[in-house]
Structure 1
């Protein structure tokens, strides 16, 4: 409230038992030395028997309750010089006596009774009231729809969806989403490709709403978007390639647990809201802010289902450093790593019980990335399940030790990989004849631990064939609130 009247303010609602309990006290308050004003959230007949000694205000629109920041009714406030000096909520006899200056108030009532929730906190009401009575400004324009238009169909018709239904981004929903971060709505995160359009926190919130995110996901979504807008990730190239690639989001640290991300059973699959919607929000930002639409700039020959969303958390611990730690962040940091990846290639090895045998299985499967006769083209993300990781951890192998072993196993004589060798036209250039070549560029093999505790299965997520400094390199960003 911009200017409060001096005296006592009582905010109540008839439906609250404690408000009904204290209703007989209103006449006594009104007869005291301090003027009394009563704001009623539901029934303007509440406290109507004071004979005009108290001013009763019909606050069914909740404007006054919202401006007074009421969370519990009844609330009693004392105002002096236009400023609040004290408030109490519920019925606490000692507090009410002190604030009102009436030492005998409520002698026949219990000492304490809890209050009820203010109607300003009803579902959806905080955002509605903030928009109605607050100074909320959106930079994004509001699209007017016809009274008979179906909101979801309108989103389809305007090209805002990824082919699945989206949540209509009403002003109330966007405001609620923005409350998930302390960052200013007009903060520009970068230029979203391919159109290089300024991407603000507000624009991200709009697309996070459409993706189905909760407000608490916003910091993770923002970090993912920031990673995608870094030049090194090469989002424009990932979009316009005819290959399969799209952003793969790997989340590390306390933030993943805080928002309930899945790093366990079916971690790369469906069923977890945070996993599904965080990755989808990133894709919608690129589509709706940057203009990256399939059939236009997005020219993938086949694409892959991960271009709807591909997001999961790493199962940290167990004796291995997390991806975030390997990439230079503190063990307690929350991060997002973006990797330009393709589909999931399963690794089935249910018999290896030594790290040497299992590493050879992994190497053989990794050789197929892009093509067994190609090298230093696409990166790879190796997802090791807990049962497979146990084989290495119990033998004392760290992630770094496994990576070194795989690098050794994946270094080949180029002669067998030259174009035409084995009757296959695809392959390496003749200039590499007689040389040893690594399958992956230095730093091009990432390893994470994820998946359910049962099942001797791991997976390879192949990278874009243009991985590296001239195409796309993995980018990690710390998650900020």
Structure 2
């Protein structure tokens, strides 16, 4: 484990001479005990037994591991030479030749083996590393501590206190939160967003806590941070999406190199379970909205039905296989950059067309699926997304259609005949009011649906994801770049 220099304890050792770090539990350290006793100008720091090694005049207790951390010790024994307070060289493990070269003392360790590799430093023990992390960096955490009784079950305690989405969560211990924060260089107290509905400030630390609860790995945190930023904009209108009785919730699609870096799924079952990054990133966003913003079901979240994806809905786009430019790039993100697009989403509905072999026929099938969003007789109100599968995408690739061409064709196919959608038409009272005009009505507002590409290589099935109201008062998709170095 490494600790930033500014967070290490100050340890004093001789400006000139040698420092050895050992532990009694290490066979190699015990092997070189006679060598240590015979080295002039030597200071020994011992990690586990202050009485070890015998025969050394300047022997110091390092059971708190401050010296080991300051020296960056990963293996014991380690021998370090100092001159003028500056390290001049070190040897890790036991090597007669290297120890003799470093010290200038001939005949060291006669009768001992030429080489032994040594043992892992106590700083590398998982339990000890966690304690060190909390001791050295725990002061940077500002969130309120939740006290749990010794005999209280962590999982049940978090259920009882309302921090879960109905499923078990990972207890956000200080060590786990600190490890999560290692996924970003942003400061823990930096403000990320103001989270509706309670308009509470979410700091990087608070987002990290909910990422732990969700089961994220630290490398997912930059994606979660970008998603929180996007979801808390006026354009996305998370408060409105929560307060509506419609069943949609936030969903995330990820583009760029970070998809592969964190192991996201854009292939088979891309919209389903089984991938840790997909599952936990979407869940972390929802937990931030719940735990920081106060968006709880049957309170501000007024959905009449909801859908299972409201636990968390996140997937990556298959950029390598797509016949189109990546979604984020079509929305203004420079090529090669990572980004998230947060959008309002119902549960996905499969759309099968196993016969169409021309782009014109397939586009008509897709248009019929999109027409069903909200209600097939209601135009202009709700947005939607279309997730195109590889087998369907192949049809458009072979015909040379790009994203813009498919959008243009779908726009034409989604002009609705007013006679079909007027109230009472087809024996259905739902619909639009009767008008004198017979001009066709567009199903979606301009820019009211997105096209994405993901899924397994077999199966002529795409998916329509209904959204929510678009335009003023509704929710618009929002794209934010992901900076893994922030």
The interval holding the TM-score normalised by the smaller chain is: over 0.9
Question: What is the correspondence of 1:53-452 to structure 2 with a 5 Å cutoff?
Answer: 53-57=57-61, 59-93=62-96, 95-106=98-109, 113-134=116-137, 136-318=139-321, 319-431=323-435, 433-452=437-456
Query: CA separation in 2, counterparts of 1:135 and 1:100?
Result: 39
Whether contact under 8 Å (2:383, 2:470) holds in the other structure is yes
Contact 1:340–1:474 (Cα < 8 Å) also in 2: yes
How much does 1:15 deviate? 4.3
Q: 2:461 aligns with which of 440, 457, 462?
A: 457
1:133 deviates by 4.2
- C-alpha contact (below 8 Å) 1:250/1:312 kept by paired residues: yes
Q: CA deviation at 1:113?
A: 4.8
State the alpha-carbon separation in 2 of the partners of residues 176 and 229 from structure 1: 25
Displacement of 1:462 in angstroms is 0.5
Residues 429 and 91 of structure 1: CA distance in aligned 2, closer, same or farther (over 3 Å)? farther
Q: Distance in 2 between matches of 1:43 and 1:354?
A: 77
Shift of 1:230: 1.2
The Cα offsets for residues 346-402 of structure 1, whole Å up to 9 and x where unpaired, read as: 101111111111111111111101110111111111111111111111221112211
Shift of residue 432, structure 1, vs aligned partner: 7.2
Structure-2 separation of matches of 1:22 and 1:452:
59
Where does the alignment leave 5 or more consecutive residues of structure 1 unmatched?
none
Q: Deviations over 1:301-359 (max 9, x none)?
A: 00111100101111112332111111111221111110111111110111111111111
**For the residues of structure 2 that align with 1:84 and 1:247, how far apart are their CA atoms?**
54
Task: Tell me the TM-score normalised to structure 1 length.
Answer: 0.93
CA 1:149–1:429 in structure 2 vs 1: closer, same or farther (change >3 Å)? same
Q: Distance in 2 between matches of 1:171 and 1:157?
A: 20
Q: Look up the match of 2:477.
A: 474
Question: Aligned pair in 2 of structure 1 residues 103, 396: CA closer, same or farther (>3 Å)?
Answer: farther
SS at match of 1:5: coil
| Displacement of 1:28 | 2.7
Range with greater deviation from structure 2 (137-146 or 84-93): 84-93
CA 1:96 to 1:469, structure 2 compared with 1: closer, same or farther past 3 Å?
Answer: farther
Structure 2: stretches of 5+ with no match in the other structure: 1-8
Partners in 1 of 2:456 and 2:423 — Cα distance? Answer: 40
Q: How many residues align?
A: 473
**Deviation per CA, 1:411-430, whole angstroms, max 9, x where unpaired?**
12323212222222211233
Larger displacement relative to structure 2 (128-137 or 104-113): 104-113
Which stretch has the larger CA shift, 166-175 or 98-107? 98-107
Equivalent residues of 1:379, 1:445 under 8 A apart = yes
User: TM (normalized to structure 2)?
Assistant: 0.92
Query: How many Å apart are 1:229 and its aligned residue?
Result: 1.1
Taking the aligned partners of 1:107 and 1:352, their CA distance within structure 2 comes to: 83
Choose from 14, 19, 30 the match for 1:9.
19
Residue of structure 2 equivalent to 1:41: 47
Following the alignment from structure 2 to structure 1, what is the Cα–Cα distance between the partners of residues 234 and 93?
56
Q: Pick from 9, 28, 40: which aligns with 2:38?
A: 28
RMSD across aligned C-alpha pairs, in angstroms? 2.1
- Whether the 8 Å contact between 1:130 and 1:136 is mirrored in structure 2 is no
Distance in 2, Cα, partners of 1:99 & 1:367 = 78
